[in-house]
Amino acid sequence: MFKYLQDEIKRRALKNQAGTEFDEEVKNVANSSMLRVAREAKWRVLRRKTHFDTITSYTSGTNFVSVTNSSTAFSLISTACNLWTDKVEAGRRVQFGTSSWYYNIRAIYSNTNGTLDLAYRGTTATRTTYEILPQEEYALPVQVDHRCIIWHEDYGRPFRMHYIPDQTFLDTGVTLTQKGTPSHYRMWGENSIKAAIPTATPLVITLASATDYGVEVTVTGTVSGYPRTEKVAWDGAANTNTAYHFESVETISKDSNTVGTISIVTSRGSYAIATLPAGDSTDIVKYSKMQMFPLPNRVFPINVFYYIDPYKMVNDDDAHLLGENFNEAIILLSVAKFKYQDSQTEGDKWIDMYDDEIKSLKKFNVDKIDWLPILERPNQGRTDPYVTKGLLFSQAGGYYGPSSRR
């Protein structure tokens, strides 16, 4: 438990187990050391697995949208797709009628109305067809670390999707509107929200337990194009709204431990933005974003095997996710940090003990490496139908050869 770690760090580093003068410093050092230990290796105790479903196209049929030449506004006439009810996210691509142009949905104002990123280039039509293309970007489950395996069985067998950096992907010149079974993914973006905000809106904060009266939630994002932070204390009402209309959100956090979860949704469209977990974490929750290629042409589960980023400890009875076998490593590293403040020699002795403890832990607690990004030579490995892999000097670094192969 957290109390044991604090007492042991104080005993070894400060020769003080009863005083409270250094309590906050000890807590902070213990948490930073725990996170450092978690990053040392692929520990089996941090391995998790989950899944999410793909989201495919919405297609109208005939005569179900109104668009105007040189205008960014569009209006659905039918209920083939209810934008808010079906939780269509801003950023998805859309195509109208027989036009060959694709547009991104910039904002969604209701179940039927929204705006595009570009003025409509086709002929004005009061009733024409539309297709909202499959969703490309997905938020991975909360606290998914960058070390993960993403796979599906849409081919009738397990298929591990290939990770590709954005720069390499865009250099291939593929068509971003292509639909099919996803074979590749990129990861770009990491924040506290799991769905894009449809339009500028207050956020509705709901606490699951009345015991959490007075808990303060901090939201940081963009309001009217400028960064803005707002703190909202739950006043006991069923819901508490932010005063600001947030266009986007970067981080959401709470100031204390809670008995129940905290849900944050948009007041316009009721999009689920984030869920702060119950219990011992005041950390900012983290959702990593992934983009699929091709766009999924049907609904099926995507499996994710990953290593979780641990939450920090807050209360004395909190337990970290690594388990008690890792307590000694956390204590040794914490003590080393305190010792370094006074003596380089003392710090070195404790860090040597920490290194030995980590070596011992790795003998019995580390997973075999089953996912590792590597550089590949041209035509190495399987033939890929969509993306051609090749080793560029720029992949190895700026000091190695010309910027392109000749």
Sequence-separated (6 or more) residues with CB below 8 Å from residue 108: 83, 84, 88, 90, 114, 198, 199, 269
> How far is 318 from 321, CA to CA, in rounded Å?
10
Backbone angles phi, psi at 23, to 5 degrees: -60, -50
Please tell me the predicted confidence (pLDDT) of residue 42: 87
Checking if the pLDDT of 385 tops 50, the result is no
Mean pLDDT along residues 152-158? 94
Please give the distance of CA 218 from its chain centroid, rounded to a whole number: 18
Checking if the pLDDT of 406 tops 60, the result is no
Query: Model confidence at 207, in pLDDT bands (50, 70, 90)?
Result: confident
Please tell me the predicted confidence (pLDDT) of residue 296: 97
Sequence-separated (6 or more) residues with CB below 8 Å from residue 283: 253, 311, 312
Mean pLDDT along residues 45-68? 88
Please tell me the predicted confidence (pLDDT) of residue 370: 53
Please tell me the predicted confidence (pLDDT) of residue 276: 87
Long-range contacts (CB closer than 8 Å, 24 or more residues apart) made by 389-392: 389/164, 389/168
Mean pLDDT along residues 172-182? 92
Checking if the pLDDT of 378 tops 60, the result is no
The mean pLDDT of the chain is: 86
85-89, 167-171, 187-191, range with the lowest pLDDT: 187-191
Backbone angles phi, psi at 46, to 5 degrees: -100, 0
Checking if the pLDDT of 403 tops 80, the result is no
Please tell me the predicted confidence (pLDDT) of residue 383: 47
144-148, 195-199, 243-247, range with the lowest pLDDT: 144-148
> How far is 302 from 148, CA to CA, in rounded Å?
12
List of E strands, 234-313: 240-241, 248-254, 262-266, 272-276, 287-293, 295-296, 301-308
Instruction: Note whether 278 and 261 are within 8 A (CB).
Output: yes
Closest CA to 109 of 197, 23, 6: 197
Mean pLDDT along residues 379-393? 50
Task: For the chain, state the CA radius of gyration.
Answer: 25
Query: Model confidence at 261, in pLDDT bands (50, 70, 90)?
Result: confident
Checking if the pLDDT of 367 tops 90, the result is no
Closest CA to 11 of 251, 260, 288, 335: 335
Helix (H) or strand (E) holding 361: helix 344-365
255-264, 355-364, 393-402, range with the lowest pLDDT: 393-402
Please tell me the predicted confidence (pLDDT) of residue 20: 73
Instruction: Note whether 212 and 278 are within 8 A (CB).
Output: no
Query: Model confidence at 223, in pLDDT bands (50, 70, 90)?
Result: very high
Mean pLDDT along residues 231-244? 81
Parallel, antiparallel or unpaired: strands 73-76 and 184-191: unpaired
> How far is 252 from 285, CA to CA, in rounded Å?
7
Mean pLDDT along residues 331-345? 90
Measured CA to CA in angstroms, residue 163 lies from 147, 171, 198, 298 at distances of: 11, 15, 28, 21
Supply 56's token pair.
């495919």
Mean pLDDT along residues 214-230? 93
Helix (H) or strand (E) holding 162: strand 162-163
Instruction: Note whether 33 and 330 are within 8 A (CB).
Output: yes
Mean pLDDT along residues 266-270? 95
The pTM for the full model equals 0.80
Supply 151's token pair.
């796979």
Sequence-separated (6 or more) residues with CB below 8 Å from residue 91: 104, 105, 136, 137, 196
